[in-house]
Structure 1
Amino acid sequence: MAPTYFRPSQSIAQISWPSERISACLCDECDYSIHLDTPSLDFPGILARTRSGYNPTASERMAYLGMLEKTRSEIDRREGELRRLRKAMKKLKEQQKLLQAYEVGIRHLSSPIQSLPLEILGIILRYVCCGNDAMDIANSYRHDIHHRGVKNRLPSFDASGVCFKWHNFVTSTPMLWSSFGHDAYNPVSQSLVQIFIDRSCLNLIDFSLTDWRRPPTTRGIPRKAIVPTAEHRIKYLPSPVVAHCNRWRHVLIAGQFKFLYNSFLEPLMENIGTPSNLISLDLECYRVRGYNPPLIEFPIVFHSLESLAIRGLNLNFGTPQYTVTTLCLSNMTCVNALSFLQKFPNIERLTVDKIDVDNLSTYAPLVLDKVQTLTLIFPFFGGAAGFLTAIKFPCLAYLYLDHLVFWPNPESHSVLSFFDQDCFTLTSLSIKTSSFRYEELLQLFRRLPSLTHLYVEKLIDKSPENDTMRWILNLLAASQHLGMPQGLQKAKQEVDNHADGSLSNDDDSEDHGREIRELLLPQLAELSLYLRKPHIELLLNLVRSRRPRLQSSPENFADRGCLRTLRVRYDPVYSHGQEDMTPEHLDALRDSLRPFEEEGLDVAVEVSDYR
């Protein structure tokens, strides 16, 4: 074999040449070593002659060739030792793997879990395979699908592969096969689903089946110009779970319309049995631009269904569903949503998400007298205005506003009129990822005199001048200035500086004073804020105004609501600006609130990774 010559990656002049003899001990038992006599190797002389361009004579050239051959033999000798050591290292690593496997086996035999009764092991594996609370299984699937991209949830297979004992126990326990989530259409999907159905025996099943193949959009393309592709030619067969619909308990199905209709809805309507044990159902139809799903007559009556979510589908229930108490509507028109709500007279918790603008002139106001909790998610504002004005909620107590943007929109007054309903008993309001103007906040708080709990998180500021959190703190803290001329003047100046012109120009200073003199949200007892900027002084002013025992205040404060709980959260992940809150600001806020905490105020100031 031809020798491999050394090609240094840097100049040989940069090598640090040792001045003493060096050796490498390869065996401590026999003192077998390889020595390198560096003093006898005149490397500095070779280097100096190389730099000077010295031309050796014929006799010197012959001497150098002898030195080169001797050096090459020493290099080959060390290369042979390296190969021998590599073979020894490979053998040692193989033996180490055997010993590690042997160690694992001994640890497994001596581990405490081996003495665990099968009944306790079954409880643990049931928690792993089926979850702690079956009602949250569908929600956990949806969180995995939309946030983590996890398509498969098959922990029973993982648990059965631990050891032979676990395999026998898991495969012989039907309860552990009663919960699964999987991508509905791939080469092995049908067989995996069938395994779960067979092994779960007669137990109720919770499952999530999704079709991740979204068809390409055809918006703006003439119908004759559309060329069918593999996505359009997919043939969806009835799912094997439809034949066991009487065992359904918590179900989530998501995909394009053909997948939902051909694989589940149509076979379900043709099936003799009905999902009599179904508790929660979540149906999501992926929306494609330029395509609206047709109306489906759905005659099935659910006798035990409690929670229903319809996203992007247009279903017409033939008979009212009296057992449904939790309803979620998403990606549909206002008319479809209103006609849908008429079939559910007993809903107590309603979530409305992404309702499109539609003509509601032919619909009389719909009264939902049992709804106590309402969640509104409107990325596009137009649907909110028309939808809210067409429904009455006389018993509403908890309202959650998410992605509600009022800036700037002339229809905001129609939405604010939603809070002018008769017998409005709202006690809890949550505002998240929303945007308001000063005037809209003022009108909103004026309409909620019975509010006792307010939660504000992740407000959206459309411009640097728009500081919605500052406006909220100013409005709620204005009550501290009653009967205090200096404080009234200070508050008036704050509002004038930060209202951003939202008040009408014909308002004089006296009108500003009247607004500040109002006691907004007089019954407020619990306040939870997500602070991004260090509004410490404003927050302290708010607490002082709501804790009259800590200041010399008028006597009429005694009969008003007193703030009892304050929650302040700060997330460093979402703080990037120079004016954002820092941990130092948070420590200063804790120190400033300590006197109020000693007086009985329940205070919590924390750093959280809230997403």
Structure 2
Amino acid sequence: MVQVDAERQQRLTYLRNKANDLRTTERQLCLQLAQVRESLSSVCSEEAEITNLSTPVSSLPNEILGEIFRYTKDSYNVDNIPDVVVVSHVTRHWRNVALSNPSLWDTIRLNASNPSMDLPIAFLTRSKPCTLDITLAVPDYVPMSSLRMVSVLIPHFGHIRRLVIECGDNEQVVQQLIESLTDFHAPSLEHLEISLELGDRQDSALWGERVRIFSSGAPLLSSVALKGISLRCCNPPLGTITHLSLDSDGDGTMLMPYDYFREALSACSSLIWLELRGRLFIFTLSNTAIRIEIPSLVYFAVGYPIHYRQDHYIRSIFETISAPALRTLSLNYMHRQTLQVAVDFVQSHQLYPMLEHLRLEEPAVECITADFIRSTASVTHLTLIYVGGIPRKMAALAPLLRHKHPPATPADALWPRLHTLSVYVFDEVFLRDLITTRIAIGAPLVTLRIESGTYDGLRPDQIEWCRARVKVESVDFDL
């Protein structure tokens, strides 16, 4: 029995020693394997680098490669990673080129629902010393703590060139976000855009009488676009503004007093481009419109919710705004009767003696009369945007443009200077008749511009017929 136990103990000792030896060998082999893998990785990396240097793209100068990378700035892959990040991980050379071009990293999107700020911080670091294009996205139901993203921007605020705030149905967070901008100095800011998509109207209890943002100054600010939020709720310095767009987004926007609206426009002493969509201010039958002259204004677009029929409101806009140097007038989608008020007012007051481009969205086509055309005889470019009921709509306008009884001279034609026609849809019968008749009366069209999607669907014979008589262009429409 004692002899058996001794044999077992001896065997156990042997096995333990053997196991230790094997473990030692295993560690040595693992270390060798790690060294082999490291060497293999280095060899493969050098092999890939030499292979890549042999490809035609590697012969491109760094400046050209950087310009190619610039086309990836605003695109993302399926994992929502910016493509500029992806290309910077392809090769060492590409990464060096990407990192040495700060302008590749100056477009930054911060999403309040994303807890990680690593990517925006990396972009902010790599973009120095460029000015920045910043988008702050505030989706529905994000908590107030999401405003921490503003603190990331504070050290860089002096470099922001363009600031876009996209907000869902989260008015309280948006109000706090805008309040945080009140005292900022924005020396590089050129464009401000705020969009608020509320399921209901703005809550007036959340907002003060007037929220002034960038009160420390924004000397380069030239463009402001507000959608779904009142100008009173985020009033930036207006003295240098050249482009202003106010859109009530249906019924959501808190209305301004008329005097405030007029005061704001008066402050825009350099305004050249103005777009007013929806119901923006309070104007009742007891109010009196007071005219302000904006001598620099050359583009004016007006739109009004089709379910509103307050004719005095739309009339007050034209009574208030005097633009003697206006070049483009855009009458956008609104109720036909309300639109007729605008058309009649423009016609009777001869408001725009220098008008060159008239842009009509449906149902404006049906409101045009010969007297209106005569009151805008300086028009050289007509844009027609309509979707449904084309034959009926064009039937109202066609006689005015083609003339059943041709005038004695081209100067007697309606819109005698008209040389460019832009159309959203292609009404073949109307366009053939119009083109041939204008040629016959000696006032031919020179250019026919067709919306790109419509143009792509045309038959070759339709395009060729037009090209034989006018210059045809495929264009994108801004609706």
Q: Normalising by the residue count of structure 2, what TM-score does the alignment of the two structures yield?
A: 0.72
Please show how residues 216-231 of structure 1 align to structure 2 within 5 Å: none
SS in 2 for 1:241: helix
Residues 345-494 of structure 1: matches in 2 within 5 Å?
345-356=269-280, 358-359=282-283, 361=287, 363-380=289-306, 382=310, 384-402=314-332, 404-407=333-336, 409=337, 412-419=340-347, 420-422=349-351, 424-432=353-361, 434-436=362-364, 438-461=366-389, 467-478=392-403, 480-482=405-407
CA contact (8 A) 1:153 1:181 kept: no
**Aligned residue among 148, 153, 156 for 1:241:** 153
What letter is aligned with 1:522? P
CA displacement at 1:324 relative to structure 2: 1.7
Instruction: Quote the residue 2:34 is aligned against.
Output: none
Report the identity percentage: 21
SS of residue in 1 equivalent to 2:354: coil
Taking a change above 3 Å as real, the CA distance of residues 591 and 291 of structure 1, as seen in their structure-2 partners, is closer
Give the number of equivalent residue pairs.
Answer: 411
Q: Which amino acid aligns with 1:387?
A: I
What are the residue-to-residue correspondences of 1:193-592 with 2, within 5 Å?
A: 193-213=120-140, 236-237=147-148, 238-255=150-167, 256-263=170-177, 265-271=178-184, 274-292=185-203, 294=207, 295-298=210-213, 299-316=215-232, 321-331=238-248, 332=253, 333=255, 335=258, 337-356=261-280, 358-359=282-283, 361=287, 363-380=289-306, 382=310, 384-402=314-332, 404-407=333-336, 409=337, 412-419=340-347, 420-422=349-351, 424-432=353-361, 434-436=362-364, 438-461=366-389, 467-478=392-403, 480-482=405-407, 519-535=413-429, 538-548=430-440, 562-567=443-448, 569=450, 583=458, 587=461, 590-591=464-465
- Give the aligned partner of residue 52 of structure 2: 108
Separation in structure 2 between the aligned mates of residue 608 and residue 427 of structure 1, nearest angstrom: 20
SS at match of 2:277: strand
CA contact (8 A) 1:480 1:546 kept: no
Contact 1:205 1:249 survives alignment (8 Å): yes
CA distance in 2, matches of 1:545, 1:154: 53
Q: C-alpha separation between the residues in 1 aligned to 2:101 and 2:61? A: 15
Specify whether residues 102 and 337 from structure 1 end up closer, same or farther in structure 2 by C-alpha distance, changes over 3 A only: same
Matched-pair contact (CA < 8 Å) for 2:303–2:334: no
Contact 2:378 2:417 in 1 (8 A): yes
Q: Could you list the per-position Cα deviations for residues 420-441 of structure 1 after superposition, in whole angstroms to 9, with x for gaps in the alignment?
A: 2445321111224x21364544
How far did 1:357 drift? Answer: 6.2
SS of the aligned residue for 1:251 comes to: strand
Of 102, 119, 124 in structure 2, the residue corresponding to residue 192 of structure 1 is: 119
Q: Is the contact made by 1:349 and 1:372 (CA closer than 8 Å) also made in structure 2?
A: yes
Distance 1:125 1:592 in 2: 40
Residue 151 of structure 1, CA deviation:
11
Look up the match of 2:472: 604
Deviation at 1:307, TM superposition (A): 1.5
Larger radius of gyration: 1
What residue in structure 2 maps to residue 122 of structure 1? 66
| 5+ residue gaps, structure 1 | 1-100, 132-140, 216-230, 485-517, 576-581
Q: Deviations over 1:109-157 (max 9, x none)?
A: 421222333333233324433x7xxxxxxxxx9xx9xxxx999673332
Please, which runs of 5 or more residues in structure 2 have no aligned partner? Answer: 1-44
Q: 1:262 to 1:154 in 2, by over 3 A?
A: farther
Q: Distance in 2 between matches of 1:583 and 1:233?
A: 52
Separation in 2, partners of 1:606, 1:574: 6
**Matches of 2:202 and 2:299, distance apart in 1:** 32
Partner amino acid, structure 2, of 1:266? E
Question: How much does 1:281 deviate?
Answer: 1.6
Gap change, CA 1:565 and 1:153, over 3 Å in 2: farther
Question: C-alpha separation between the residues in 1 aligned to 2:478 and 2:197?
Answer: 28
Contact 1:322–1:346 (8 Å) recurs in 2: yes
- Give 1:245's aligned amino acid: F
Measured after TM superposition, the shift of residue 417 of structure 1 is 0.4
| Matches for 1:54-73 after TM superposition, within 5 Å | none
- Matched position secondary structure for 2:267: coil
Q: What does residue range 31-70 of structure 1 map to in structure 2 within 5 Å?
A: none
Residues 243 and 441 of structure 1: CA distance in aligned 2, closer, same or farther (over 3 Å): farther
Q: Give the SS at the match of 2:224.
A: strand
- Deviation, 1:158, is 1.5
Q: Which amino acid aligns with 1:604?
A: V
Contact 2:356 2:378 in 1 (8 A): yes
TM-score by length of 1: 0.58
d(CA) in 1 for partners of 2:458, 2:67: 42
* 3-state DSSP of counterpart to 2:472: strand
Q: Which has the higher mean CA deviation after the structures are superposed, 324-333 or 116-125?
A: 116-125
Contact 1:385 1:414 in 2 (8 A): yes
- Over the residues paired in the alignment, what is the CA RMSD in angstroms? 4.0
CA apart distance, 1:525? 2.1
Alignment of 1:89-108 (within 5 A): 108=52
Please list the CA deviations of residues 431-480 of structure 1 after superposition, one character each: whole Å capped at 9, or x if unmatched: 24x2136454445424311111112133443xx8x721232222111164
For residues 67-102 of structure 1, give each alpha carbon's deviation from its aligned partner in whole angstroms, at most 9, with x where no partner exists. xxxxxxxxxxxxxxxxxxxxxxxxxxxxxxxxxx99
AA paired with 2:297?
Answer: V
Give the CA deviation at 1:258: 3.5
Q: Which residue of 2 aligns with 1:62?
A: none
Contact 1:320 1:345 in 2 (8 A): no
Please, which moves more after superposition, 151-160 or 170-179? 151-160
Query: What is the rounded CA distance, in whole Å, between the counterparts of 1:607 and 1:300 in structure 2?
Result: 42
For 1:593 and 1:283, the matched residues in 2 are separated by: 43
Q: In 1, are the aligned partners of 2:425 and 2:454 still within 8 Å (CA)?
A: no
Matched, 1:174 2:102: yes
Shift of 1:569: 3.2
1:39 maps to which residue? none
What's the counterpart of residue 91 of structure 1?
none
Q: 1:373 corresponds to which letter in structure 2?
A: Y
Give the deviation of 1:205 after TM superposition: 1.2
1:550-587 Cα offsets, whole Å, 9 max, x none, are: xxx7xxx6xxxx22413163777799xxxxxx855x62
Q: Deviations over 1:144-190 (max 9, x none)?
A: 9xxxx9996733322222123333443354332222224233122x2
